[in-house]
Amino acid sequence: MKIINTLKSVSLSVLPVLIVSAVLSLGVTSIAHASKWDAKMTPDEVEATLDKKFAEGKYSPKGADSCLMCHRKSEKVMDLFKGVHGSIDSSKSPMAGLQCEACHGPLGKHNRGGNEPMIAFGPDSTLSAEKQNSVCMSCHLDDKRIEWNGGHHDNADVACASCHSVHTEKDPVLSKNTEMEVCTSCHTKQKADMNKRSSHPMKWAQMVCSDCHNPHGTMADSDLVKPTVNETCYSCHAEKRGPKLWEHAPVTEDCVACHNPHGSVNEGMLKTRAPQLCQQCHASDGHASSAYMGNTDQGSTVGGNAFTGGRSCLNCHSQIHGSNHPSGKLFQR
């Protein structure tokens, strides 16, 4: 393969890997700015030209060697060889086939001045997210991404290249140390919640977004990895799973009825602190307005009212997720 001879003139250190960047990168331009053809062609004209090029199928007989004649001076382009998409010894890599053109389309007359469009990826591309993603999905439509079409990110016109980096040794979104940074670049509200006093340990990378969500889509709400919210929570919080002898209806229905899974200023990631949270359902209970603690003096600051002492309603109803005690009807034991 002639590509090997070309790479030797660059550096043996960049030889290991090549194709990951072709699918989700910013394109083969050496600088991240609008492409030459964008100055004289509309997005529709670019797309029409690309369709025509695919119909003609004029691929370079020299493969990636033709591309590297101009683009090998770009560090961003050459970083492709550090990743799995640029691997020249893998039968699953684009380098085993059409090489750069497997993702960026037929070369055609592009090497004659760079004015003829190629498929570009990322925020500077004039192609729609759907067109960009169709390139990626031509290889990556497997059982893990089978629900992409119609998923939240697909419906929001999010391009694969918005999250994934191909021209790199390690894709940041695929590492637990950097995944949350990628996700929260868009999901800023969740980022704020994660930094509140009560939250899952995501800012320490002990958990990541993909532990609960599949960004490529699922049949569940919010692209959860399990069919329901509760089943997702039970993956870690198995002790909360029923059935219980005495069950608390909100618990069996939906964990997020009381909790904000991304974080809260209240203990236990509660949406609202007790007793206000409890009173959203129990406003008309017999002692909802004056729950006394007898002579225990635990709430003596306001007439002994239990709502002012310690854990509020949970001072008495400590088994709020359900009880298996024969006398636990009120979740007190």
Give the whole-angstrom CA distance, residue 209 versus residue 179: 7
Q: Examine residue 272 and state whether it is found in any structural domain, yes or no.
A: no
Backbone angles phi, psi at 82, to 5 degrees: -90, -15
Q: Examine residue 241 and state whether it is found in any structural domain, yes or no.
A: no
Q: Examine residue 98 and state whether it is found in any structural domain, yes or no.
A: yes
Beta carbons of 273 and 266 less than 8 angstroms apart? yes
Backbone angles phi, psi at 78, to 5 degrees: -70, -20
The SS3 of residue 292 is strand
Query: Residue 2 above 90 pLDDT?
Result: no
End-to-end CA distance of the chain: give it in Å, rounded.
73
Residues near 316 by Cβ (< 8 Å), separated by ≥ 6? 291, 306, 330, 332
User: What would the pLDDT profile of 152-206 be if each residue is shown by its tens digit?
Assistant: 999 999 999 999 999 998 999 999 999 999 999 999 999 999 999 999 999 888 9
Q: Examine residue 247 and state whether it is found in any structural domain, yes or no.
A: no
Residue 163 is predicted with a pLDDT of: 94
Q: How far, CA to CA in Å, does 266 sit from each of 136, 262, 300?
A: 42, 12, 23
Mean pLDDT of the region 107-115: 87
Give the whole-angstrom CA distance, residue 212 versus residue 246: 28
Beta bridge partners of 318: none
Query: Residue 293 above 80 pLDDT?
Result: no
Residue 324 is predicted with a pLDDT of: 94
Beta bridge partners of 311: none
Mean pLDDT of the region 129-142: 90
Token output for 292: 């006394």
Residue 288 is predicted with a pLDDT of: 53
> What percent of the chain lies above the pLDDT cut of 70?
82
Q: Domain containing 156: what range?
A: 43-168
Token output for 210: 């993909």
When divided into structural domains, the chain yields a total of: 1
Give the whole-angstrom CA distance, residue 169 versus residue 80: 7
Residue 33 is predicted with a pLDDT of: 55
Q: pTM value?
A: 0.78
User: What would the pLDDT profile of 62-75 be if each residue is shown by its tens digit?
Assistant: 888 999 999 988 88
pLDDT tier at 308, thresholds 50, 70, 90: low
Residue 303: count other Cβ atoms within 10 Å of its Cβ: 10
Query: Residue 105 above 50 pLDDT?
Result: yes
> What percent of the chain lies above the pLDDT cut of 90?
52
- Per DSSP, the residues of 266-308 read SGGGBSS-TTHHHHTT-TTSTTSS--B-TTS-TTGGGTTBGGG
Give the whole-angstrom CA distance, residue 266 versus residue 230: 20
Q: How far, CA to CA in Å, does 69 sit from each of 73, 77, 119, 311, 313?
A: 9, 12, 18, 70, 72
Mean pLDDT of the chain: 83
The residue ranking higher by pLDDT, 108 or 11, is 108
pLDDT tier at 253, thresholds 50, 70, 90: very high
CA R_g for the chain: 28
User: What would the pLDDT profile of 7-32 be if each residue is shown by its tens digit?
Assistant: 334 333 333 333 333 333 333 333 44
Give the whole-angstrom CA distance, residue 11 versus residue 6: 9
Q: Examine residue 106 and state whether it is found in any structural domain, yes or no.
A: yes
Strands (E), the chain: none
